Structure 1
Amino acid sequence: MQAARGTSLNSGDHPETPISPPHRTRFRTVFVVTALIAYAIDIGTKVLAVERLTGKGRVDVIGDLFGFNLARNPGAAFSTGTGFTEVFSLLAIAATLVVLWLSRRLGSTLWAIGLGLLLAGITGNLTDRLLRAPGPLRGHVVDFLELPNWPIFNVADMCLNIGVAIVLIQTVRGVSLDGSRVKASKDSDDREQDPA
């Protein structure tokens, strides 16, 4: 049963204000620009690392605290699963498609940045797996950033971690992908728009 103005009388149904096309375009633009910039930085730094660090061993930048050390990783994070490079490549392709599909519903700037960083991280390392030796889907990821007592990593890894952190923060804040936010109340689960 509907009320006179079209609102539901069922307390579980609450109309949401749809995001206007200009606003949705803005969030998609933030997503695309974030992904492109982070991806370009990742690929650019990997090219420089291969050109300048091959055969040099560790190069200290801040003493023992931080340095460059070229490594090629056939596995996943922390060099795990080195015998499953093709599987990781296929999973990365699937993850890329999922992020692109989710990006259609963006209604929040932070979600747009988080998904953009996730896309850059996934595709940055996927590019290595597709284009670098020993061959397509089996390529080794270029890592070159080294901290004490931590596996060598790259910019794509940083993007993945920051992107995941943003997604978790938005989830904890109760902000949905479309920008709606659950507002706790005693009588109902009202939703309001939160563009952040």
Structure 2
Amino acid sequence: MLFFLITSFLLTALDFAAKRLALIYLKGGLEITLIPHVLKLIYGENTGAAFGILPAARWFLILLAVIVLLVVLWYVQKERCRSRWQYNGLIFIFAGALGNLIDRILYGYVVDFINLPRWPTFNLADIFIDIGAALLIIYLIGSAEKET
């Protein structure tokens, strides 16, 4: 459990630091092109969930994030993860949910700053949640194959 918490908090700290830098350097309208026509850093404020769904649902999203965090902590503590895929997936989901929860509490919105063409702006916490979901899918596919 200690490794789970330390790793989650380190990932959350990385997300928080990146968002602070975005607030400091990008909020005024600065755009930084990292790869022309592919990747740039721009400032965005997301009051909704992923991809802007559920706009202005701050308190619902805060409650949902708290529930997700508590369920993940309970599961890791009581159920003992059965594989590294599952364990690491839950670390990434926990860190991403915590990172975006901190933003919602502090600012009333989530700070986004990574921009790809024809894609909503996102942040590291969103990437962590996506990585976590992918790892859990790999775990579930592997578990299903073992049962057959």
TM-score using structure 2 length: 0.91
Higher-Rg structure is 1
Displacement after TM superposition at 1:29 (Å)? 4.2
Judging changes above 3 Å, is the alpha-carbon distance between structure 1 residues 183 and 82 closer, same or farther for their aligned structure 2 residues? closer
- Are 2:40 and 1:67 aligned? yes
Aligned pair partner of 1:148 in 117, 126, 133: 117
5+ long unaligned stretches in structure 2: none
CA distance in 2, matches of 1:114, 1:33: 15
Displacement after TM superposition at 1:143 (Å)? 0.2
8 Å Cα contact 1:30/1:109 also seen in 2 = no
- Are 2:101 and 1:126 aligned? yes
In structure 1, the partner of 2:8 is: 35
Displacement after TM superposition at 1:87 (Å)? 0.7
8 Å Cα contact 2:83/2:139 also seen in 1 = no
- Structure with the bigger percentage of helix: 2
4+ long deviations beyond 6 Å: none
Displacement after TM superposition at 1:131 (Å)? 1.2
CA distance in 2, matches of 1:150, 1:95: 26
CA distance in 2, matches of 1:107, 1:174: 10
TM-score using structure 1 length: 0.70
CA distance in 1, matches of 2:88, 2:63: 24
CA distance in 1, matches of 2:26, 2:62: 25
**Deviation per residue, 1:41-80 (Å, 9 max, x gap):** 1011001110111212422111121000000110001111
> RMSD in angstroms over aligned alpha carbons?
1.6
CA distance in 2, matches of 1:183, 1:89: 37
**Deviation per residue, 1:16-43 (Å, 9 max, x gap):** xxxxxxxxxxxx3442233122111101
Higher relative contact order (CA 8 A, sep 6+): 2
8 Å Cα contact 1:30/1:112 also seen in 2 = no
Report percent identity of matched pairs: 36
CA distance in 2, matches of 1:30, 1:167: 18
SS in 1 for 2:117: coil
In structure 1, the partner of 2:91 is: 116
